[in-house]
Structure 1
Amino acid sequence: MAATDGFTDELTLRYLLPDNVNVLLVPGNDPERRRVRALLASVYDPTFLDVRSVESVEVLDKEFQTAVHASVAVHGSWDKTIPMTEQARATVEIPATPAVQWIDMSLETLVAARTAAGGGVLASVEAEAWAATGGPGARPDGFERPYSLEYTETPTFDPTAPARSFPLRVSALFFDRLDLVDALRRLVQARRAVDAASPRPEAHDGGALLASSAWLAVFPAGPPDDPASQATEQQIVELLATRGFVAAFETAPAGSRRRPVRDDRS
């Protein structure tokens, strides 16, 4: 593995320009806008919301190096024996501050997409009359009451229907090397901190939101004419997707120097 000097700093300067942020979210070689769709799917449960196409992405706000503190409560007990046979006990809650998680770039976006319902909605619940039974699962009194659940049919997708707007927070972490263990640990810790600091809404369109933010990991890209590098990048995309993260690869700064990476785990 190799690290790229100045890669994180270069990305910070590069993304000062709105056009470069737009290209990060919607690359020119991504006409189906799969990256944005993957970011949406990491927040809006695809079981309930099937994104068929993305019409536009608008960046409403951008911030670099956002600090996130995930508060943790520490519980303890204090015992004191009072003369005679009495005893007093108190429970004290002390807030503790864990290590700060830094988000390299935070984006507040609005995504216009055409969607279809992901499944039928529960329409009614009907309870049948109590019936005597001695079979498995019977109540102690020997009766059970079957229920009948009815769901509405999934609406047919209408490609001419107006696009809907979905607010989407995108948290990006920049990595100057392909160290997947370190990347996954940082992403998991940062996501946990953000979810704790910014609780997600209860539900949307009948389904609970999966996270408070979509997560984008940006790595240095390998040579575009190297099939091995391209295959590795695709594997990284697939690996991070299993944990609900999205991977992107950006070219290193022109004239940047490659240096060996020291593996402190060895």
Structure 2
Amino acid sequence: RSIGQILRPDREDPSDARLLWLGARASGEVDSGALGDLFYGLDGAWVGGDETVFGFDSCADSDTPCPASKRDQTHERLSSRRHHDVGGFAIDARMTLESPLRWRPAFTLGYAFGSGDSNARRGEDTAFRQTGLHRNNDRFLGVDRFHYYGELVRPELSNLHVVTASVGYRILHSSSLELLYHYYQQAVPAPFVRDTKLKADPNGRSGAIGHEWDMALGLEEWEHLEVELIGALFLAGSAFGRTRDHPDDFSGNLAQGVFLKLKWNF
């Protein structure tokens, strides 16, 4: 693509990349005696390659040099093109203790980290990014699968620390209840969170994204029907506070959501 090319927004691609991912996984189970059974998992990944990032200006802006016939909001002009190398890494560690206590609660602690771009001016983007095929969806020891980085935030593991704590219970005959907490902190303060469900953008000055609490209830008491009910609450951190360049103040705001999924198996 050449600078000055006029495109419709649905024809734009903000970046082109040639990337290679390498990963490794270790998992297992340890008998902790009277404490119960300990399950652990550790994932590590590296991404490398090169990327070209494109910038666009709206033709509706009077300062953008576009043909008169395309001077509207349905056209944009390619204004910049930047090439850099990519090299980032990520880890995801989790351990779950299935205790012998009443109702056999399972306690989970997890930590995930995706590197951020701390040296963008040196011609290399060190931020990790996932493949685009990821779902970040799994279950701990219950019957229900959920987004283990949070149901509301649902971030891509890029430029981010995610700390997770949960307690889960097996209930009835074949059901479970999971209570989860997540804390989010950017590795490098940036004015965006990659591929998140949040509509607001952070201010780029603070890295404290916020906290999320989830409740995941999975019911599989019937031969054909599975029910999944999830409630989620997110508290925005100082990364969404007001600054000179970020006039909107969402710090301390709450977002909530309820998700219901029914599955019928034939």
Bigger relative contact order (CA 8 A; separation at least 6): 1
Q: What range describes the TM-score normalised by the shorter chain of this pair?
A: under 0.3
- Higher strand residue share: 2
Largest Rg, 1 or 2: 1
Higher helix share: 1
